[in-house]
Structure 1
Amino acid sequence: MALSDRPAERHRQVAGLFTDRVRGTKSWDAPSPVDGWTARDVVRHLTGWFPGFLASGAGVDLPRGPSVDENPVLAWQVHCDGVQAVLDDPETAYRELTDRHIGRLPLESAIDRFYTADVFMHTWDLSRATGQDDRLDPDLCARLLGEMEQMEQAIRSSGQYGARVEVPGDADVQTRLLGFIGRDPFWSAR
């Protein structure tokens, strides 16, 4: 299925796949490809950083569910539904997000660029940690890789991505994206 070019619909699709992986998780303590993280920590990351980013940059407060330690499935669902509600709100088209690192952006563009992309990439982490289908949309992989390669120095200096993992020159775009963001595309919990 091709992903939409509209931020609200793309989030619905990307977050929907992540939701499927959350619901399919059998062991929340399974190690993930992110060093030192478990499957639960992948969900903790996504539900943890974004509410503050939205609140400080756009004055948007997301609803809070239970803690990820208490109920990772419900914590994710409340969070995901809250983000979708922001994107589906017609007023969002007229709002901006301001951040000292990125300047001013239309709110829906900021959500798409920083958050939906993060959910997309972390879908692989959760899928791989829990033994689920880890294939990502190749078109979005290619788009993200192309955008990030243009600002590699800024990405590396942010501390939010690991060192590039070298992959074969003829690797598919998902493998190249994973290597670029510092994941070992061949990682296995076993």
Structure 2
Amino acid sequence: MDEIVERYRAHAGAFERKVAGVVPGRWDASSPCPLWTARDVVGHVVDMHGVMLRPFGRGLSPAPPVKEDPLGAFRAARADVEAVLADPARAAAAVETPGGRMTFAEHVDQVVSDDMVIHGWDLARATGQDETIDPADVERMWADARSIPADLVERLRTPGAFGPGVEILGPEVPLPPDAPLQHRLLAFFGRDPR
């Protein structure tokens, strides 16, 4: 449990630094996610924090809207998730999720924690910030990605398979086998790192 909580905090901290690093005038910049601006990327991450809380009968606290204050909106969503993770009983509570029965901490770890890594790269690319992902995260996420059964990967790449308008993975971008591991990870998630 401690490892999951620490990983979430590290990923949320890195994402928050990228949100704070967006200079005025860059919020409407296009991101690597089709049809999303930099602001939309933050909005998605905030929304996913709410998705994590919903199966556990919780929601996001009142906060500034992403449109007006992306950093404030993210900080508030992060605080909501961290409050649950900080309570061992609530963090260990298990319910049914789209990924099966799991604890709150496992749900956060499997979905939003790593989502912030990939969307942190999206935000960095959109706003001209450092795009480097922690090499330990790249290695761990690459191993996890390669262990997903092919039929599940196909479902994850099918728009709408997890609900209307929900797209988990874009089509994999072909890269040479000797491409850097970060590039291969991003390509798996449907990003063209070139």
What's the TM-score once normalised by structure 2's chain length? 0.86
Number of the residue aligned with 1:41:
40
1:139-178 pair list within 5 angstroms: 139-149=136-146, 150-151=148-149, 152-157=153-158, 158=161, 159-178=167-186
Deviations 1:85-105 (A, max 9, x none): 211122224311312x32210
SS at match of 1:178: helix
1:35-114 pair list within 5 angstroms: 35-55=34-54, 57-99=55-97, 101-114=98-111
Unaligned runs of 5+ in 1: none
SS at match of 2:145: helix
SS at match of 1:61: coil
1:185 aligned to 164, 176, 193, which one?
A: 193
Question: Within 2, Cα distance between the matches of 1:185 and 1:128?
Answer: 9
Deviations 1:113-163 (A, max 9, x none): 111011111010001111111111222222222222323223223432111
Question: Within 1, Cα distance between the matches of 2:140 and 2:155?
Answer: 18
Question: Is contact 2:31-2:122 (8 Å) kept?
Answer: yes
1:18 aligned to 15, 31, 35, which one?
A: 15
Which letter maps to 1:169?
P
SS at match of 2:101: strand
Question: Following superposition, which runs of at least 4 residues in structure 1 exceed 3 angstroms of deviation?
Answer: none
**Identity over aligned pairs, percent:** 38
Number of the residue aligned with 1:137:
134
Which letter maps to 1:163?
P
Aligned-pair Cα RMSD in Å: 1.8
Question: Within 1, Cα distance between the matches of 2:60 and 2:105?
Answer: 15
- Relative CO higher for 1 or 2, CA cutoff 8 Å, sep ≥ 6? 1
What's the TM-score once normalised by structure 1's chain length? 0.88
Deviations 1:50-99 (A, max 9, x none): 313421x1112232311111111111111112111211122224311312
